[in-house]
Structure 1
C-alpha cells in the first residue's frame, strides 16, 4: 500500500501555476473552437509585396511590409493556431496570430489596455510557453511565479499539495508530459496585470494526466525538469504518514510482545 502511494501509480494529479511575465506563446490544441470577441482593435496585415517606396510610418507595424488599419475582431481559435503576446505596456499589448484559417499565416493586432480590462480574462486550451530564456537584449522575460502539484490518492476523497515552488526571473516555462515527454495541452488564462501595466498575468491548470515543468534559464543551457518524487509524496501525504505511524506502532508492539516471551 505504501509503495503504491509514494510512487503515485494510481493517483490523479493536477498542476496549478501562476506567473507574471512580459511574453506568452500558445499553440492552440482543442477539439472545440474557442471564441475571442476582442472588439475594435488596431490591425497589422502583411502586404502581398513589399513597398520600399513608403516610409516606415508611425503605425503599429512597418508600413513598407504591413498594412495598418482598424477593425472589429471576433474570431474563433481552431486547433494549430499560434498566438504570441508581445510587449505589454500601459497602453496595451501586441498579439500575433499565426496559421489561422481566416486571418492567414500572420496577423498582428494591438489590443488597448482599456479594452482588455473591459474584456477581462482571455481563456485558451493548448501548449503554452511562459517567457523567453534570459539572454542579451531579451525583454520578454518571466518576472515571477509559483506552482503547485496536487494529487488525490487511491481510497482518499481529498487532494493534497505534494510539491510547491517558485520561478526565478528569466526562466522560460513549459508543461510537459511526465518523464520528459512532449508538450502537454493545458487550460490557461491570460489577463492584464492590474498592479503592473507592462506585465501579463497567466494562470495554468493541467491534469489529470501526470505532468512536469520544463524550466529553461539560459537559452544555451540544458533545461531543468521539475516533478513530484516519492520523497515529496511520502513527506506531504497524511495517508502515508498515518500508515507509517501504524506500522511503527505495530512493529514496536510486536517487539514488546517478543521480549515478553
Structure 2
C-alpha cells in the first residue's frame, strides 16, 4: 500500500531536496576551485635545498655579511710572467705568481665578489678570486692541509654553482648529493617536501628564481664544511630564498639541461588539504546526483 502525503508536504519535501542538491553542487564547485588553485600553487612559496659533496663550487657574494676567517694561508698573487724561472712545485707557479704567507687571514667579501672554491687534493682547499678587490683577479688563496675541518663552517649569502659540467680534464666536479623542493601554502605555516632526489656525479647544479629561460640566479644561504679526512672534496649546503625557484642541472658535458620544479601532481600527492579535497569532491557530486534523482522521482 502506497502512503499518501498532503500536497503541501510533498512540495516542501521537493523544495528541501532541491535546496540540498544546490548546496551540494555549490560545495562541490567551491571545493573544485580550491583544489585547482592549490594544485597549481597559487599563493604558495617554495624553497630549494641542496646538500652535496663536491671538489668545486663557484660562489657569488651578496650583501655585506660574508666574513670568512681562514687562519694561516698562502696567497698566490699574479705577476708579470717570468719564463726565466723554473716551474717549481705546488699550486703557485713562481713564474706567474708572487707567493706570500698570511697568518690569521680574515676576508670580508664585498658585494659582487666572485670566488671559485676548489679542492684539488684530499684535505686541501684553494680559493681563486674571479673578481677584482683587495687582491687582483686570479689571486689564489691556498689554505693549509686540513684547515677547513679546523675552521668549521664557512657561511655565505649569495649564489652558488655546485660543480662544473664533466668535460675532459675538469676537476671541479660534483661527486654526490641530493635536493629537496619544499613548499609552504598561503593557508599554513608548515612546509611540505614536494619533490626530492639524488644528484649524479658530474652534474652542474644551480638554482634560478623561476623557470623562464632568461631567469636570473636565485639568492641562497649556504655554507661549506669539511668532509671526513680520507674523503675527497668538501661539503656544500644551500637553501634558496622563498619564491618560485627552480633547480637547473647541466649534464653530459654541458650538452643537456634539466629544470626541476614542482608540478600539480607533486602537490596533489603531498599536500594534505588537496588530498582531503580530492576525497570530498566525488562525495559531494554523488550526493548532489542522488538528491537530484530524488527530486525528479517526486
TM-score normalised by the shorter chain: which range applies?
A: over 0.9
CA distance in structure 2 between the partners assigned to 1:185 and 1:169 by the alignment = 24
Paired position in structure 1 for 2:83:
52
1:114 and 2:132 matched: no
**Deviation of the 1:68 alpha carbon:** 1.8
1:132 aligns with 2:164: yes
Q: State the 1:137 CA deviation.
A: 2.4
What's the TM-score, normalizing by structure 2?
Answer: 0.82
> Aligned-pair distance for 1:18?
0.5
Contact 2:123 2:229 in 1 (8 A): no
Cα offsets for 1:4-43 (capped at 9, x unmatched): 211112012111111111111111122x241111111112
SS where residue 284 of structure 2 aligns?
A: helix
2:126 equivalent to 1:94: yes
Matched-pair contact (CA < 8 Å) for 2:219–2:240: yes
The corresponding residue for 2:283 is: 249
- Structure number with greater Rg is 2
Match of 1:258 in 2: 292
Secondary structure of the residue that 1:246 maps to in structure 2?
Answer: helix
Q: CA 1:220 to 1:20, structure 2 compared with 1: closer, same or farther past 3 Å?
A: closer
2:176 corresponds to? 144
Q: How many residues align?
A: 259
Note if 1:212 corresponds to 2:223.
Answer: no
Of Structure 1 and Structure 2, the greater strand share is in 1
Please state whether the residue corresponding to 2:228 is helix, strand or coil. Answer: coil
Counterparts of 2:73 and 2:84, CA distance in 1: 27
Unaligned runs of 5+ in 2: 1-33
1:21–1:199 CA contact under 8 A, matched in 2: yes
Check whether the contact 1:77–1:100 (CA below 8 A) recurs between aligned residues.
Answer: no
Residue in 2 that maps onto 1:25: 58
2:225 aligned partner: 191
Structure 1 segments unaligned to the other structure (5+ residues): none
- Between Structure 1 and Structure 2, the one with more helix by share is 2
Shift of residue 223, structure 1, vs aligned partner: 1.1
Matches of 1:168 and 1:258, distance apart in 2: 56
Matched residue, 1:67: 98
CA separation of 1:115 and 1:134: change in aligned 2, threshold 3 A: closer
CA distance in 2, matches of 1:79, 1:102: 13
